[in-house]
Each structure stands twice: as structure tokens, then as C-alpha cells.
Amino acid sequence: MTELTSANFDASVLASSDLVLVDFWAPWCGPCKLMAPVMEELAGEMTEVVFTKVNVDDHSDIAQRYNILSIPTFLVFKGGQVADQFSGSMTKEALRAKIEKHA
């Protein structure tokens, strides 16, 4: 899973022709910690999707650009555009379903 920064976000997400899932998270966030293993598992299973994450404490400029008000928040990018946004912890199956509808 790729850790995105202000330096690599545009090239990794906006310029990508792949489906990209961006997880906006922070180390102190309990629900974010619950979602981390779910993201890791899906990243291993859904090889057609690029799984990434943004630490909102370290890269608040990216969080502000996308008006991230709560975490975890997930953005699905397709062709460099936001195709979907959803927040909160969920099961692996629920997250997979939300991603697959854009594949």
C-alpha cells in the first residue's frame, strides 16, 4: 500500500489510469486502526485496484483539498476523478462492494 504525500499525490492518483482507493487516516484514529488490516487484505486480493493512504496529520493540505471532515474517509478515483466517497469503518465485504461498483 502506497503512502501518499503532497509530493506524490497528483502523480500517483490524478495521473493514474487505474482505479485508486485513497484512505484518509491518522495514527490516533481508532476506526482507522480497525480498517488498516482490511485495507491490507483487499490490497492483496484486488490487484486491479491501487490501494493508497494519506496521513491527514502529515498532509492536511490534501485532506483540505478534498474537504475531508472525518476519518477514516475513503475516496475512489477513476481516471483521476473522484468517483465515490464514503466514511467510517466497515467490513471487508462492504468495502469490497463499494470499490467493485467502480471497477
Residue 11 has pLDDT above 90, yes or no: yes
Distances (CA, A) of 15 to 8, 18, 88, 96: 10, 9, 27, 23
Annotation says 32 is catalytic: yes
Query: CATH number for the domain including 76?
Result: 3.40.30.10
- Supply the mean pLDDT for the chain: 97
Annotation says 29 is catalytic: yes
Which structural domain range is residue 14 located in? Answer: 2-100
Active-site residue, from 22, 32, 50, 71? 32
The torsion of the CA quartet 8, 32, 47, 12, rounded to 10 degrees, works out to: -10
Please state the rounded mean pLDDT for residues 26-51. 97
Which pLDDT band holds residue 103 (cuts at 50, 70, 90)?
confident
Structural domain tally of the chain?
1
Q: What is the pLDDT of residue 42?
A: 98
Active-site residue, from 13, 20, 29, 49? 29
